[in-house]
């Protein structure tokens, strides 16, 4: 007979094991590897791209005006009004530095399995714009830069300049972190005047400069994003960007440099971030230089959020954060990052319709390649494979690709762009389909396990505390049949897990529901005795007892619920 101690041990082990099911359902890596890279076959408009990320910069704090009508970032505002494209880049949760930078530079939303490492290390390798570049110079925080240099296929390709970790001081003004970055960029170009090899390297095509500005985020945490310190930091960044652009213009003497300014995440008024509040998910995006269109006089894209900025006469084009990676790749002619799910924002490009059609087609092929790899993996391992219907049969990817190519050949570029967008839509849906392919099985097993645990515990309580006389044992013949059935079910489920090459923990997931329900059916006499007692006293009395219990429990928890609600509203 099972003791209370044994029940406690089983319960603890069961809940610890099933805790990991959360990671197997929601925190499995969506990345696939081994795909062919794709890029536009046409010459790129730029030879170099400068990516500037203001860590923790809210969109409204950059774009809004001061009370006296002046801008905190006059140079960037001038770019918006006279020679660039702009909008709001919408991030996803978690609004943290690592996920944001992965989306911007690699083009996909954070590999969620990184939550187990505190968003600091690379649980799996991934491709990025830096990895595809001829050379990348990156400047900034030791918390961000290493994850792109250490994961590169050639570590010498991604060069890092990082300030010491002890520079990150939350006790004062942190704008010196951004000054450090800009000064080291200037020093790099000064050194080129006396270093022939560096000068030659800087003048190559397909190069990337990455400036990570942590001062804004640190000042936002320390002083809040509505503080004068935070605003002064924005002014510092604006002035420094003007200086860096002038420096590069003098050094290169051409118009082959593209600039992209954005942020990894925003910040709420309490100086925090991480959740999906709009203050955290809305970040600025400004692009200008080679390959970027000039402003369009239009109120298109504006809403109540941007109305106070007094930019309603300049078209606003919002993007998703992952769209920035293919934008940078296109500008300098790099293959799109292999894991990118971003869509090239064609509205930002200064290009003819043919160029846009070819770029969109390459973008679609890159996302489709991930779908096809995921499809092949599932088809190889799944016992009862079900394909993704919208990209099967007569709608096979090859048919889409042929139709798009024919449209380009026929110079029907609008149709080619529309079909490319449709193919990207379906490929992303297909990736999601295969990413959640095993959810039904796993969720069903987990649900059966928890319900079985409840029934198992209830039988234990009823047998030990509610039934006055001994519960008759299950007849041996029936017990043997129950044992055999439970063994058969477990072997069948375990065999399916082995054939489909699922994780070893899945064996434990299916063991517990089989064990619990085996015990419940084996000790079914306990429930029979209780049901007999219910019939003896009447179902109405039983219903009244249940309702009374629920009313008492609700009365106990309702004050806590009201307290929680008041606490939430206070923020």
pLDDT, residue 117, reads 56
What are φ and ψ of residue 320, in 5° steps? -90, 150
pLDDT, residue 345, reads 98
Q: How far apart are CA 260 and CA 285, in angstroms?
A: 7
pLDDT, residue 161, reads 97
Q: How far apart are CA 215 and CA 219, in angstroms?
A: 6
Q: How far apart are CA 426 and CA 428, in angstroms?
A: 5
pLDDT, residue 469, reads 65
Q: Which of 208, 264, 196 is nearest to 55 (CA)?
A: 264
Long-range contacts from 437-446, C-beta under 8 angstroms, 24+ separation: 437/378, 437/382, 438/502, 439/25, 442/21, 442/24, 442/25, 442/506, 442/509, 443/25, 445/493, 445/509, 445/510, 445/513, 446/18, 446/21, 446/25, 446/509
pLDDT, residue 568, reads 41
pLDDT, residue 124, reads 55
Q: How far apart are CA 275 and CA 281, in angstroms?
A: 8
Helices then strands (H, E): number in the chain?
21, 8
pTM: 0.87
Residue 276 CB neighbour total at 10 angstroms: 11
- Name every residue whose Cβ is closer than 8 Å to that of residue 193 and which is 6 or more positions away in sequence: 199
Between the CA atoms of 324, 327, 332 and 336, what dihedral angle is there, to the nearest 10 degrees?
Answer: 90
What are φ and ψ of residue 382, in 5° steps? -75, 140
pLDDT, residue 135, reads 97
Q: Please provide the DSSP assignment of 404-439 as one string.
A: HHHHHHTT-HHHHHHHHHHHHHHHHHHHHHHHTTTH
Burial label for 563, CB within 10 Å (0-12, 13-18, 19+), is exposed
pLDDT tens figures, 79-105? 999 999 999 999 998 899 989 999 999
Q: Give the tokens for residue 130.
A: 């830096």
pLDDT, residue 100, reads 94
Q: How far apart are CA 367 and CA 357, in angstroms?
A: 16
Under a CB-based contact definition with an 8 Å cutoff, are residues 534 and 542 in contact?
Answer: yes
pLDDT, residue 257, reads 98
Burial label for 89, CB within 10 Å (0-12, 13-18, 19+), is buried
- Residues 142, 144, 145, 149: is their CA dihedral positive or negative? positive
Q: Which residues of the chain have pLDDT under 70?
A: 1, 111-124, 151-153, 468-469, 560-571
* CA distance readout (Å), 312 to 112, 297, 302, 307: 37, 9, 7, 7
Burial label for 71, CB within 10 Å (0-12, 13-18, 19+), is buried
Under a CB-based contact definition with an 8 Å cutoff, are residues 489 and 541 in contact?
Answer: no
pLDDT, residue 468, reads 58
pLDDT tens figures, 486-507? 999 999 999 999 999 898 999 9
pLDDT, residue 569, reads 42
Q: Give the tokens for residue 391.
A: 């990209």
Burial label for 162, CB within 10 Å (0-12, 13-18, 19+), is buried
Q: How far apart are CA 178 and CA 173, in angstroms?
A: 11
């Amino acid at each position: 007979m099972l003791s209370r101690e044994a029940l406690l041990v089983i319960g603890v082990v069961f809940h610890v094991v099933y805790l990991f099911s959360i990671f197997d359902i929601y925190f499995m890596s969506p990345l696939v590897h081994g795909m062919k890279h794709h890029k536009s076959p046409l010459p790129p408009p730029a030879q170099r791209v400068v990516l500037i990320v203001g860590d923790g910069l809210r969109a409204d704090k950059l774009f809004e005006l001061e009370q006296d009508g002046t801008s905190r970032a006059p140079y960037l505002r001038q770019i918006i009004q006279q020679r660039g494209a702009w909008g709001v880049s919408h991030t996803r949760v978690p609004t943290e530095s690592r996920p944001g930078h992965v989306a911007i530079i690699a083009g996909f939303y954070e590999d969620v399995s990184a939550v187990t490492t505190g968003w600091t290390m690379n649980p799996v390798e991934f491709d990025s714009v830096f990895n595809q570049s001829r050379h990348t110079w990156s400047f900034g925080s030791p918390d961000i830069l290493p994850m792109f240099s250490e994961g590169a296929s050639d570590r010498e390709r991604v060069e890092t300049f990082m300030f010491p970790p002890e520079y990150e001081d939350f006790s004062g003004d942190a704008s010196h972190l951004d000054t450090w970055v800009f000064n080291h960029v200037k020093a790099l170009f000064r050194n080129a005047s006396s270093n022939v090899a560096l000068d030659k390297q800087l003048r190559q095509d397909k190069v990337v400069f990455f400036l990570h500005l942590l001062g804004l985020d640190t000042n936002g945490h320390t002083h809040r994003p509505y503080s004068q310190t935070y605003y002064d930091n924005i002014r510092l960044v604006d002035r420094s960007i003007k200086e860096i652009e002038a420096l590069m213009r003098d050094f290169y003497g051409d118009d082959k440099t593209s600039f992209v300014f954005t942020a990894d995440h925003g910040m709420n008024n309490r100086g925090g971030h991480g959740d999906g509040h709009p203050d955290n998910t809305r970040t600025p995006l400004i692009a200008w230089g080679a390959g970027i269109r000039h402003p369009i006089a239009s109120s298109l894209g504006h809403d109540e959020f941007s109305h106070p900025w007094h930019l309603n006469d300049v078209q606003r084009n919002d993007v998703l954060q992952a769209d920035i990676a293919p934008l940078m790749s296109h500008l300098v002619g790099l293959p799109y990052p292999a894991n990118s799910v971003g869509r090239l924002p064609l509205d930002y490009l200064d290009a003819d319709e043919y160029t846009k059609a070819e770029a969109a087609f390459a973008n679609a092929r890159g996302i489709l390649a991930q779908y096809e790899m995921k499809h092949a993996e599932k088809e190889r391992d799944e016992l009862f494979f079900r394909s993704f219907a919208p990209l099967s049969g007569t709608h096979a990817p090859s048919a889409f690709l042929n139709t798009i190519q024919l449209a380009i050949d026929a110079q029907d570029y609008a149709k080619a762009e529309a079909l490319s967008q449709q193919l990207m839509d379906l490929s992303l849906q297909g990736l999601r389909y295969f990413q959640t392919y095993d959810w039904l099985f796993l969720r069903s097993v987990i649900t059966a396990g928890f319900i079985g645990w409840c029934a198992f515990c209830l039988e234990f309580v009823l047998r030990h505390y509610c039934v006055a006389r001994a519960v008759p044992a299950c007849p041996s013949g029936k017990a043997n049949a129950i044992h055999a059935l439970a063994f058969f079910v477990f072997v069948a489920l375990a065999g399916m897990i082995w054939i489909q090459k699922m994780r070893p923990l899945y064996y434990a997931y299916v063991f517990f529901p089989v064990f619990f329900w085996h015990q419940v059916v084996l000790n079914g006499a306990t429930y029979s005795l209780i049901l007999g007692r219910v019939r003896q006293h009447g179902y109405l009395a039983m219903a009244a007892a249940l309702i009374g219990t629920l009313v008492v429990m609700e009365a106990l928890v309702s004050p806590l619920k009201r307290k929680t609600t008041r606490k939430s509203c206070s923020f």
